[in-house]
Amino acid sequence: MGENKSNNNFWRVIWKSVKGTSHIRSGLPNQDAISFSVSNHISGLPLIVAISDGHGSAKSFRSHVGSEFAVKESISIILEIFDEYYKNDIQNYSFIKNELADRLPKKIVQAWRRNVEIHVQKNPFTSDELSKLLAKEGINAIQTIQDNIYVVYGATLLIAAVTDHFMFYLQLGDGDILNVFNNGATVKVIPRDEKFIANETTSLCSNSSWNEFKFKFQTISSEADLPALILLSSDGYSNSFRDDDNFLKVGNDILEIIKNDGVKYIADNIETWLNASSEKSGDDVTLGIITRIINEYSDNETRSST
């Protein structure tokens, strides 16, 4: 797919996931999962970040496992697809866009379901798991998971990928992907689907879930096309803010901190910030920050993760 167009850009990832205060009290595991891949190339490209939020409901009592499957399989599949493009020197970006939109969601869902099926075969639902579900939701809930074992592992999925010549985003369910530009302007890449209310969301466990993915693709033709930051977060983060306007301000706040104090300051403090957010939302909170370190606000920072 050609050489890196942006040799003055060094893309890095900072991330953290913290267990929600409500889960700490109840003894439940963190339902969120995050995984990423950063190239050994000096630019860090291609770069992929995936976040999944397990539902954590009574019926989704293994969703913390489902979210781990989601992020690991997504990264693996995207890397395989990218490898195809590089090996075959495919530079038709309309073709790439259409192929990703058509192929990727179904490949992810199929791989995720295979993982679930294998896990259930090796680890059948225990009498303790089923008795707890029966006590909480009754016999109909038992029937639901017998009809659809994927519900037990149900989870959402957010993906951002950056290459030398294009970026794409993929979202199933709640959570947020934000683009933050050098002037501090912050926008949601994929707005929340207004047909859902309260805690309703699409999920990997839904029938034909591959049809529910939201996809956005953008070619990179100049520096102006590139955001300074891409933020991915589970909904436990946005729910800790009073409203969307206050949530969107976090983009400029993080950008200013990077400009003034560097990436390491973010990496050193992100856990404290997310724990404070969890105290407000009660939920698990996961944040992935993809930062484009450029000379104007870089002190020769190296790639940084927490």
The DSSP annotation for 175-233 comes to: -EEEEE-TTS-EEESSPPPTT--TT----TTSTTGGGG-EEEEEE--SGGG--SEEEEE
pTM above 0.85, yes or no: yes
Residue 3 has pLDDT above 50, yes or no: no
CB-neighbour burial class of residue 242 (10 A; exposed 0-12, middle 13-18, buried 19+): exposed
Is residue 299 predicted with pLDDT exceeding 60?
no
Please write the tens of the pLDDT for every residue from 16-73.
Answer: 999 999 999 999 999 999 999 999 888 889 999 999 999 999 999 999 999 999 999 9
In the chain, where do the E strands start and end?
10-18, 32-38, 47-53, 157-162, 166-172, 176-180, 186-188, 214-219, 229-233, 285-293
Cα–Cα distance measured from residue 31 to residue 18, given in angstroms and rounded to the nearest whole number: 10
Place 201 in a pLDDT band, splitting at 50, 70 and 90: confident
Is the pLDDT assigned to residue 194 strictly greater than 90?
no
- pLDDT number for residue 6: 38
What is the band of 298 on the pLDDT scale with cuts at 50, 70, 90? Answer: very low
CA distance 210 to 123: 26
Q: Residue 197: which pLDDT band, with cuts at 50, 70 and 90?
A: low
What DSSP letter does each residue of 257-278 carry, written as one string? HHHHH-HHHHHHHHHHHHHHHH
H or E segment at 76? helix 63-87
For the residues 89-105, what does the mean pLDDT come to? 94
Give the separation between CA 260 and CA 263, rounded to whole angstroms. Answer: 9
Amino acid, single-letter form, for residue 81: I
Res. 135: pLDDT tops 70: yes
Write down the pLDDT at residue 302: 37
Q: What average pLDDT score do residues 132-138 get?
A: 97
pLDDT band, residue 9 (cuts 50/70/90):
low
Task: Please tell me the least confidently modeled range out of 1-15, 72-86, 187-201, 209-223.
Answer: 1-15
Q: Is 291 helix (H, G, I), strand (E, B) or coil?
A: strand
Task: Go through the domains of the chain in sequence order and give each one's CATH number.
Answer: 10-297 (3.60.40.10)
Residue 132 has pLDDT above 50, yes or no: yes
What is the arithmetic mean of pLDDT over 110-135? 98
Are the CB atoms for 178 and 187 separated by under 8 Å?
yes
Q: What is the mean pLDDT of residues 165-190?
A: 96
Q: Residue 218: pLDDT above 90?
A: yes
Instruction: State the average pLDDT for the chain.
Output: 91
**pLDDT on residue 254:** 97
User: Which carries the bigger pLDDT value, residue 287 or residue 192?
Assistant: 287
Task: Examine the pLDDT at 182 and tell me if it is beyond 70.
Answer: yes
- Extract the tokens encoding 298: 């870089």
CB 233 within 8 A of CB 288: yes
